[in-house]
Every structure is written in C-alpha cells, then in structure tokens.
Amino acid sequence: MTDIYDFQVKTIDGQTQPLAEYRGQALLVVNVASHCGFTPQYTGLEALYRRHRDQGFAVLGFPCDQFLNQEPGDESEIKNFCSLKYDVTFPLFAKVKVNGGNTAPLYDYLKSARRGLFWTRSIKWNFTKFLIDRAGHVVRRYSPRAKPEQIEQDLAKLLADGD
C-alpha cells in the first residue's frame, strides 16, 4: 500500500467503500468514541468539516471500543448518537480496532506512516487524528488532546496547496 486510497473500509451502514472515492481531498482520520472525555470534539470536527468540505476536505470517523469500552454500542446506536447529540454529517465508518492483532489494515498503515510520541506506533487513546494530504499521504499525527480548531492552520496549508 502506498497511500490511503489503496484501502477499502466498511461504512457505518455496512457498505464496503474504497477510500479512493476521496482521492484529491484532504482528510482527517479520527478514531472516535461516544463515551469519552474527548467526545465533545465531535462539535469541533463537524465545524471543521462544514467550513472546509467545499474546498475538498472530509473528516472520516472510525468508532473504536478499545479504550475502556467507551464505544459500547453497535453501529446503529453510534450513528444515532452522533446525529442526535452532535449533528454529525461527516462520514462515519464501522467500528475498528486500532491496536493489537486485529488492527484494521488502514490503521496499520496510518501508524506506520506517522508515529506518535517517542516514536511509538500504538494509538494511545480515542480521538487520535491523522491529517492526510490530497495525494493520500499522511502528513501529521495529532494526539487526542489536540482540538480540531488547533488543526485548522495545518489544514489550511494543505487546502491552499491544492488550489
């Protein structure tokens, strides 16, 4: 695999979707959870998405239940929660594992492309974010503490480079 567009993922509605459908867009890939201290970041993620989607940007949310079972529901419950509580309109996908033996191939790629603090590969918590350029390459990894509005400056540079 050479870029993010080589992967296929399952949508929150159970459909297989090639990430190649996002070719040419800047992306922010986030492992999300509904019962986490960082869950209010859905508001900032949605605002970022709405501000920049017409410029070729998408947030891709991947629910994950690997951190203290903070995403216990099934896909339907997750989708309803995100829609009703945070008015999420950015794409959501089926639950994934981001660490361990059953790690989703996309997350193996992301973690190899951009390591975390002290060069670790593992995802430490929910709401770890990966910024992807329009060519499908991972350009930055952000900790769960990085709020979506803190990413906007980096995103603006990527979007300006694509004009």
Q: Is 64 a known active-site residue? A: no
Backbone dihedral angles phi then psi of residue 15, each to the nearest 5 degrees: -90, 145
Contacts of residue 28, Cβ cutoff 8 Å, sequence gap at least 6: 45, 48, 57, 58, 59, 60, 129, 130, 131, 132, 148, 151, 155
- The stretches of 4-147 forming alpha helices (DSSP H) are 41-52, 75-86, 105-113
- The stretches of 16-147 forming alpha helices (DSSP H) are 41-52, 75-86, 105-113
Instruction: Tell me which of 12, 26, 28, 36 is the catalytic residue.
Output: 36
Tell me the C-alpha distance between 91 and 88, whole Å.
Answer: 8
Backbone dihedral angles phi then psi of residue 146, each to the nearest 5 degrees: -70, 120
Q: Which position has the token pair 């567009």?
A: 5
Q: Indicate which residues carry an active-site annotation.
A: 36
